[in-house]
Amino acid sequence: MVILLVKIVSAMVYPVGMAFFLLAAGMGLWRWGRSDRWQARGKWTAVGGLVVLYVFSNGLVAEQLARSLERRVMPPDPLPHADGVIVLGGGISPRAFPRQTAEVHDAGDRLLYGAHLIREGLADWMVCAGGGGELSYIEQTEAEAMQEMLGWMGVADDQITLDTKSRNTRENAAESLPLAIERGATRVFLVTSASHMPRSLGIYKKQAEQLGIEGLEIIPAPCDYTIIDPEKYPPLFYRVAMNLLPNAGSLRISTQILHEYYGMVYYWLRGWI
């Protein structure tokens, strides 16, 4: 119930919810305001909602927001060998009708990259972190779905350990770190989306300290980048012209990055990072 309430309330601080609230409040004041002053305030409040929607659906804004997080924690170059890999959930949809198998979505790169590290001989085993969550009514947990897909990629079951209990990033760390220690780990890769890595790495280091785990090196291995540096850019005027137009993809990226920043503030206030 707490998670449900948090999700409902938090929707109002993301661009779409914020814009909707400002538009609804502004139009209400504009239509039913008791004086010209209140009606004028209503107009400007509604305009504010449109401005919020435009700014966060602007490609230039979304790109800068994403860069501010995705480039904050970079992997070592070259990658060293580690004992194992901890892959955070959030990129796999468990099997449920009418899906015939587990399926990947946007952050599915996490699992693919974890499998890549094992296939390249940089790690020997993997901990898959992802339970069903309080709001999930699907029998298969995400960790179990990850194991199913790893089998297709040639990763053996004895190389996989499952955390099927965790529901968020903090619980991922609390559940998966002891599983890695049981495997005898002294060095592990932490694999998650690049925008999620700053918060995740902070949580894992804090949890290791609170659990009394010493001598464990956690190596960031980010993936799922939304912003890249191509070998050749299109002309500047073309980029600016295209990014001035609002689009749903940029709005999604902005919302995702804001979610991470809100999460970092919340976790810091709780003393979790």
Could you read off the pLDDT of 166-176 as tens digits, one per residue? 989 999 999 99
- Sheet with 187-193, side-by-side order of all strands: 160-163, 125-129, 84-88, 187-193, 217-223
**Structure confidence at residue 34 (pLDDT):** 83
Confidence of residue 162 (pLDDT cuts 50, 70, 90): very high
Which of 67-76, 77-86, 128-137, 216-225 has the weakest average pLDDT?
128-137
Percent above pLDDT 90 for the chain: 69
pLDDT band at residue 133 under the 50/70/90 scheme: low
Burial 216-247 (b: 16+ CB within 10 A, else e): bebbbbbbbebbeeeeeeeeeeeeeeebeeee
What's the pLDDT band for 4 if we cut at 50, 70, 90? low
Q: Rounded mean pLDDT of the chain?
A: 90
pLDDT at residue 88 tops 90 = yes
Name the percent of the chain in helix, strand, coil, to the closest 5: 55, 10, 35
DSSP 152: H
pLDDT over 90 (residue 122): yes
- Work out the pLDDT band at 1, boundaries 50, 70, 90: low
> What are the pLDDT digits (tens) for 186-240?
999 999 999 999 999 999 999 999 999 999 999 999 999 998 887 677 777 777 7
Q: Is the pLDDT of residue 135 over 60?
A: no
Predicted confidence at residue 3, as pLDDT, reads: 61
Q: At 105, is the pLDDT very low, low, confident or very high (cuts 50, 70, 90)?
A: confident
Q: Are residues 196 and 169 in contact, defined by beta-carbon separation less than 8 angstroms?
A: yes
